[in-house]
């Protein structure tokens, strides 16, 4: 039973355009959500997060939107750059559990075409 | 500040053998988590340690075990290796107990079981 789903295994976007990566979750206990980026042969690196008390969080070119009623979040990258080409993982955490057990989606491979 | 260091980076084992992987967290970080990454299942949580205590464990068989030392370094062990254990094993560390989920990942140990 996959609790965090990234239904698009891959996404191609032209440089300068917007990239939108989507993520759905099923566990109502999740209330903290994160996006990680992973380049080949490297570990994932933290990108941006959002708490369930918010519906939007911005950091430079990256914005994460959370729709709790739909159990859906999305990552917007504007403008997209070739260096953004990587695998993006959505992750969720039940706050208050006293641990760092993150549940990850299977990832979306973003290719930004110059 | 040095990042999370995992050793060895690559290793090849045969079925039935056992393997020990090592992780040195970022200095000052007391929480260490382990994740298994496979193409089919994505990133899956193995276990998390804080101050030498296992706080949480994922849904893996007992062949997977770990420990944390007083200096926060951690090891994980897989006994009686199976072909399906071939994966990238990622270690992540974190500093605070606030469960923000911001993990800092190492580059991983790539295990191939023949």
pLDDT digits (tens, 9 = 90+) for A58-76: 999 999 999 999 999 999 9
A-chain CB neighbours of B54 within 8 Å are none
Nearest CA of chain A to the CA of B11: how many Å?
Answer: 14
By C-alpha distance, which of B30, B102, B44 is closest to B73?
A: B30
Residues with Cβ < 8 Å from B40, sequence gap 6 or more? Answer: none
B-chain CB neighbours of A103 within 8 Å are 45
| A78 membership: H or E segment, kind and range | none
Residues with Cβ < 8 Å from B62, sequence gap 6 or more? Answer: none
Q: Are B108 and B49 in contact (CB under 8 A)?
A: no
Q: Nearest by CB to A103, which of B45, B103, B105?
A: B45
In which region does residue B16 sit, left (phi positive, over 0), alpha (psi from -120 to 50) or beta (all else)? left
Write the pLDDT tens digit of every residue in B13-66: 999 999 999 999 999 898 899 999 998 788 899 999 988 999 889 999 999 999
Please name the residue of chain B whose CA is at the shortest distance from the CA of residue A97. Answer: B99
Cβ B48–A42 below 8 Å, yes or no?
no
């Amino acid at each position: 039973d996959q609790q965090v789903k990234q239904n698009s295994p891959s996404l191609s976007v032209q440089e300068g355009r917007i990239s939108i990566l989507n993520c759905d979750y099923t566990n109502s206990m999740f209330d903290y959500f994160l996006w990680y980026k992973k380049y080949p042969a490297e570990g994932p690196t933290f990108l941006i997060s959002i708490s369930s008390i918010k519906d939007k969080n911005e950091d430079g070119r990256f914005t994460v939107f959370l729709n709790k009623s739909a159990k859906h979040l999305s990552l917007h990258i504007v403008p997209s750059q070739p260096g953004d080409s990587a695998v993006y993982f959505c992750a969720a955490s039940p706050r208050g559990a006293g641990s760092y057990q993150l549940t990850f989606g299977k990832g979306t491979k973003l290719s930004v075409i110059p | 500040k040095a990042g999370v260091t995992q050793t060895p980076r690559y290793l090849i084992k045969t079925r039935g053998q056992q393997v020990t992987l090592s992780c040195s967290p970022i200095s000052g970080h007391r929480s260490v988590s382990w994740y298994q990454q496979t193409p089919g299942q994505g990133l899956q949580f193995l276990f998390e340690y804080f101050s030498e205590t296992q706080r949480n464990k994922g849904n893996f068989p007992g062949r997977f075990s770990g420990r944390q030392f007083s200096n926060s370094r951690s090891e994980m062990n897989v006994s009686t290796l199976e072909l399906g254990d071939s994966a990238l094993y990622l270690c992540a560390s974190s500093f605070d107990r606030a469960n923000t989920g911001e993990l800092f990942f190492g580059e991983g140990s790539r295990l191939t079981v023949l």
